Chains A and B, each alone.
Chain A
Amino acid sequence: MAEDKKPATPQGGGRANTRKELPEHFKAYKHVWVAVEIEHGQIHSVSFELLGEGRKLADKRGVELAAVVMGDDRARLEEAAKECFEFGADCVYLACDPALVHYRNETATNVLTDLVNTYKPEILLLGATNLGRDLAGSVATTLKTGLTADSTELEIDEEGSLAATRPTFGGSLLCTIFTLNFRPQMATVRPRVMPMPERDPGRTGRIVEFDPQIVEDDIVTKVLDFIADRDSDKANLPYADIVVAGGLGLGSEENFQLVKRLAEVMGAEYGGSRPLVQKGWITADRQIGQTGKTIRPKLYIAAGISGAIQHRVGVEGADMIVAINTDPKAPIFEFAHLGIVADAVTLLPALTQAFSARLRINRLAS
């Protein structure tokens, strides 16, 4: 989370080495918590990923793993609690109130901070989604504790503290951040950074009811409407397994259609680099890179994209990066796994054809 902080020495150390004893009133803080995201009845996949990660941290600390679920539908919340147990939680704090029908910062912040102050967890994890980041910042500020955003690695160090590693300066550096003298130690993690844990069907735990006692009239912000994305052609780039993207190297908006066609055959999402948004070839929600979407697919195909740092940081999480570019010196070849020096405009149709032929042959054979 450090906005602009450098360690006192290049190797680290500095003030962190002059650690004081944890203040007495924080010593009662125990257990690892995950604030579970439920939107429209669905638990967000990042919450399961966090339960998997939280389980490991709790085991290392020899403490319990708890999940916090909130909403207005008791049956749905009990179902969610069951899922949390099967994904590793020992305990679920359940807050049910009509005012919690939609996510709102005010209500969610109040519920979560009340729970923390009552039951005192030592670690609190949230998804680095728009909801999780909206909530985490408010909760951490209310509790005056430390929060590390977008962690990519969570560890317990030899002294039992949470070590949260995150990229900074647009991914050019990593830093490991601690919250030594405050509790809880808070961190957010982006979706698909941590692996999905195995589900253990039938695993159970205990539910702790929490009555938030919200008076709707006291809540200033009202939700007037929710326009679901499925009503429109919205990109789902962050969660796509395969992404095909194009850049200025394609030369024209017409040639960009070649990217779309390949994506269609592969069942992939498509996107592009920032200049394409500026040219109006793609909409902003399909921009991949630093000021656009961060993607973590199994396969990323970049056609006619040179690979500037702003693009690189958005795609580096891909398992496999395939670069198609006419310029063998393009920076994209420095971080691609597979590359082909070729004109995307001629190669893309050939790829589309070849993929389509193979998928058809395989289907006939099976």
Chain B
Amino acid sequence: MHIVVCIKQVPDSAQIRVHPVTNTIMRQGVPTIINPYDLFALEEALRLRDKFGGEVTVLTMGPPTAVESLRKALTFGADRAVLLTDRYFAGSDTLATSFALSMALKKIGAEFGDPAIIFTGKQTIDGDTAQVGPGIAKRLDRNQLTYVSKIVETDLVNRTITVERRAEGGVQVLQSRFPVLITMLEATNEMRRGSVENALKAARAEVVTWNAEAVGIEDLTQCGLRGSPTIVKKVFAPGGRTDEVQLVDNEGNPEARANALIDAIFARSPDVEKDLFDQAAHHF
């Protein structure tokens, strides 16, 4: 079984700083990581390969430096890495991103075998949209299974897959047919440690690198800023809270301090006080 996992290299959000004057992200010197949500997808793909055999290809679109994330994925055990990079992709929104990735996925299918499953993470930590997975599925006309918490059964003979999907108020058990696109829910598995052997392989591995032309994109108006229907007009830092934290008097025994804290909470929000008493009246 051939499986492709789409990953994204993102800035480590713990390190992000906003420029105080220009209100832009200061990317310089910010370390990058594989989008944490993508690791759940990668681990799930590796488990399926280990169980059923086959290959896992990781794909990313980004600047040439995104190759670092691909090598990292190889150390976890992926078999092949593909980097899609071109200055024409700069400024892509999710519609343009899903277009470029879908073209690369078609090429991967033609060169290395049509993937039964394409995995993505639930969303990225920088864009947070959760739109690229469904976008790719639609463009490739695949059945999409989003927010998957568990792969229940994979039937390679009948080419069906049964999954549990996190829905509102419960879990849907869905059965679909290959080829599918799955977006994996977080905290569904634990990423394995990379092995020394894989790390050595990863360092030597040749990363397949394609640009727009290589994946057969002729219409460049579908790429990058030009191919993006959304336009970012304004970027600004959240209206920083001007009020400082109100510290509750630190004197006295725990009981006195607890009561001082409750007084402060109720003083700030009579609404919460009312809710609590209403609820208590109902419950006891």
Any B CB within 8 A of the CB of A204: no
B139 cross-chain contacts in A, Cβ below 8 A: 141
| Docked CA distance A37–B167 (Å) | 12
| Docked CA distance A6–B224 (Å) | 12
Which A residue sits closest to B130, measured CB to CB?
A133
Known: A175-B234, A291-B186, A354-B255. A10 touches B93 (CB 8 A): no
A346 cross-chain contacts in B, Cβ below 8 A: 254
Task: Please report which residues of chain B, range 163-188, place their CB below 8 angstroms from some CB of chain A when the two chains form the complex.
Answer: 164-177, 186-187
Q: Is the interface of A mostly helix, strand, loop or mixed?
A: mixed
The number of chain A residues with a CB under 8 A from chain B is 113
Looking at the assembled complex, report how far the CB atom of A179 sits from the nearest CB atom of chain B, in whole angstroms.
Answer: 5
Which A residue sits closest to B250, measured CB to CB?
A341
Task: Please report which residues of chain B, range 53-95, place their CB below 8 angstroms from some CB of chain A when the two chains form the complex.
Answer: 91-95
Mask of B246-268 contacts with A, CB within 8 angstroms, 1/0: 11101000110111011011001
| Docked CA distance A346–B261 (Å) | 14
Any A CB within 8 A of the CB of B229: yes
Looking at the assembled complex, report how far the CB atom of B276 sits from the nearest CB atom of chain A, in whole angstroms.
Answer: 7
| Docked CA distance A225–B173 (Å) | 5
Stretch in B111-119, B142-150, B192-200, B208-216 with 4+ CB within 8 Å of A: B142-150
Q: Are A177 and B232 in contact (CB under 8 A)?
A: yes
Any A CB within 8 A of the CB of B243: yes
A266 cross-chain contacts in B, Cβ below 8 A: 276
Q: Are B228 and A5 in contact (CB under 8 A)?
A: yes
Residues of A within 8 A of B (CB): 1-7, 10-13, 15-16, 37, 39-40, 44, 102-106, 109, 129-131, 133-134, 136-138, 140-142, 144-150, 163, 167-182, 220-230, 241-242, 266-267, 277, 284-285, 287, 290-292, 298-299, 308-310, 319-320, 322-323, 333-342, 346-347, 349-351, 353-355, 358-360, 362-363, 366
15 contacts between A and B (CB under 8 A): A1-B93, A2-B230, A3-B92, A138-B134, A140-B95, A141-B138, A168-B127, A223-B174, A299-B269, A339-B246, A341-B250, A347-B258, A351-B262, A360-B284, A362-B280
| Docked CA distance A149–B93 (Å) | 11
| Docked CA distance A292–B36 (Å) | 12
Known: A138-B137, A177-B231. A168 touches B269 (CB 8 A): no
Any A CB within 8 A of the CB of B237: yes
Q: Is the interface of B mostly helix, strand, loop or mixed?
A: mixed
| Docked CA distance A126–B36 (Å) | 26
Any A CB within 8 A of the CB of B233: yes
Looking at the assembled complex, report how far the CB atom of B230 sits from the nearest CB atom of chain A, in whole angstroms.
Answer: 4
Any A CB within 8 A of the CB of B126: yes
A10 cross-chain contacts in B, Cβ below 8 A: 22-24, 235
Q: Are A173 and B238 in contact (CB under 8 A)?
A: yes
Which A residue sits closest to B275, measured CB to CB?
A241
B284 cross-chain contacts in A, Cβ below 8 A: 359-360, 363
- The interface size bin for chain B is 35 or more
| Cβ-neighbour of B255 out of A147, A291, A350 (below 8 A) | A350
| Docked CA distance A265–B262 (Å) | 13
B238 cross-chain contacts in A, Cβ below 8 A: 167, 171-174
Any A CB within 8 A of the CB of B281: yes
Any A CB within 8 A of the CB of B272: yes
Candidate in A104, A133, A355 with the most chain B CB atoms within 10 angstroms? A133
B187 cross-chain contacts in A, Cβ below 8 A: 277, 284-285, 287, 291-292
Looking at the assembled complex, report how far the CB atom of B278 sits from the nearest CB atom of chain A, in whole angstroms.
Answer: 10
Q: Are A4 and B173 in contact (CB under 8 A)?
A: no
| Cβ-neighbour of B272 out of A133, A138, A299 (below 8 A) | A299
| Cβ-neighbour of B167 out of A39, A176, A360 (below 8 A) | A39
| Docked CA distance A39–B133 (Å) | 23
| Cβ-neighbour of A354 out of B166, B245, B262, B279 (below 8 A) | B262
Q: Are A363 and B172 in contact (CB under 8 A)?
A: no
Q: Which 9 A-B pairs have the closest CB atoms?
A: A137-B134, A284-B187, A146-B229, A350-B254, A350-B258, A146-B230, A10-B22, A225-B173, A149-B129
| Cβ-neighbour of A144 out of B162, B229, B248, B272 (below 8 A) | B229
Q: Are A2 and B93 in contact (CB under 8 A)?
A: yes
B93 cross-chain contacts in A, Cβ below 8 A: 1-3, 5, 146
| Docked CA distance A188–B31 (Å) | 30
B229 cross-chain contacts in A, Cβ below 8 A: 144-146, 179, 181-182
| Cβ-neighbour of B248 out of A103, A136, A173, A340 (below 8 A) | A340
B162 cross-chain contacts in A, Cβ below 8 A: 224
B133 cross-chain contacts in A, Cβ below 8 A: 137
A222 cross-chain contacts in B, Cβ below 8 A: 174-176
Q: Are A221 and B176 in contact (CB under 8 A)?
A: yes
Q: Are A170 and B126 in contact (CB under 8 A)?
A: yes
| Docked CA distance A44–B94 (Å) | 26
| Docked CA distance A182–B247 (Å) | 50
| Docked CA distance A339–B187 (Å) | 31
Q: Are A267 and B283 in contact (CB under 8 A)?
A: yes
Looking at the assembled complex, report how far the CB atom of A144 sits from the nearest CB atom of chain B, in whole angstroms.
Answer: 7
Looking at the assembled complex, report how far the CB atom of A92 sits from the nearest CB atom of chain B, in whole angstroms.
Answer: 21
A150 cross-chain contacts in B, Cβ below 8 A: 128-129
A287 cross-chain contacts in B, Cβ below 8 A: 187
| Docked CA distance A221–B181 (Å) | 12
| Cβ-neighbour of B131 out of A15, A136, A298, A347 (below 8 A) | A136
Looking at the assembled complex, report how far the CB atom of A44 sits from the nearest CB atom of chain B, in whole angstroms.
Answer: 6
A334 cross-chain contacts in B, Cβ below 8 A: 245
B95 cross-chain contacts in A, Cβ below 8 A: 140-141, 144-147
